[in-house]
């Protein structure tokens, strides 16, 4: 689903265009962020499992994951910025691991293309 399709679909369904875009699985590249910006979104959120900060820029804002199992006390702590590192230590490790996998795949694709 492209950002433009998403925005048009939401406009048709809700009667108003959304201002924010959430990257699927929290991943974005420079090309994807540019497409989101060009589509007209004011901001976009990635899963960084941290609080959004002004220095992140409007198209790379961090957000926390709220799961079905997240209780009200845990939700309050997350919104207040308490215990975020502890709550998401496993998620961060998995995210870093997946970033290495994506990078290795990219390097492999470039190597294969350069042989052709």
Domain count, the chain: 1
13 vs 113, which has greater pLDDT? 113
Instruction: Say if residues 44 and 20 touch (Cβ distance below 8 Å).
Output: yes
37 pLDDT tier (thresholds 50, 70, 90): very high
**What is the structure's pLDDT at 42?**
94
- 20: in domain: yes
For the cut 80, the answer to whether the pLDDT of residue 6 exceeds it is no
- 77: in domain: no
DSSP per-residue string spanning 39-103: HT-SEEEEE-SS---GGG-TTSEEE----TT--HHHHHHHHHT-SHHHHTHHHHHHHHHHHHHHH
Each residue's pLDDT tens digit, 51-75: 888 898 999 998 888 889 989 998 8
- 28: in domain: yes
**What is the structure's pLDDT at 102?**
86
- 109: in domain: no
- 106: in domain: no
For the cut 90, the answer to whether the pLDDT of residue 34 exceeds it is yes
Average pLDDT, the chain: 84
If you average pLDDT over residues 86-108, what whole number do you get? 84
- 83: in domain: no
- 110: in domain: no
Complete edge-to-edge strand list for the sheet that includes strand 20-22 = 20-22, 43-47, 61-63
- 29: in domain: yes
DSSP class of residue 24 equals G
Residue ranges making up the domain that contains 36: 3-63
**What is the structure's pLDDT at 43?**
94
With a CB cutoff of 8 Å and minimum separation 6, the contacts of 46 are 23, 26, 27, 28, 60, 61, 62, 63
């Amino acid at each position: 689903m492209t950002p433009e399709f998403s925005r048009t679909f939401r406009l048709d369904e809700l009667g108003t265009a959304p201002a924010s875009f959430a990257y699927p699985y929290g991943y974005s590249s420079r090309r994807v962020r540019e497409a989101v910006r060009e589509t007209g979104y004011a901001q976009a959120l990635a899963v960084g499992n941290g609080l959004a900060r002004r220095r992140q820029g409007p198209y790379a804002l961090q957000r926390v994951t709220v799961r079905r199992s997240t209780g009200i006390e845990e939700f309050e702590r997350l919104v207040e910025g308490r215990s975020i590192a502890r709550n998401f230590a496993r998620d961060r490790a998995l995210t870093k691991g997946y970033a290495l996998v994506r990078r290795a795949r990219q390097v492999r694709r470039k190597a294969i293309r350069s042989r052709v």
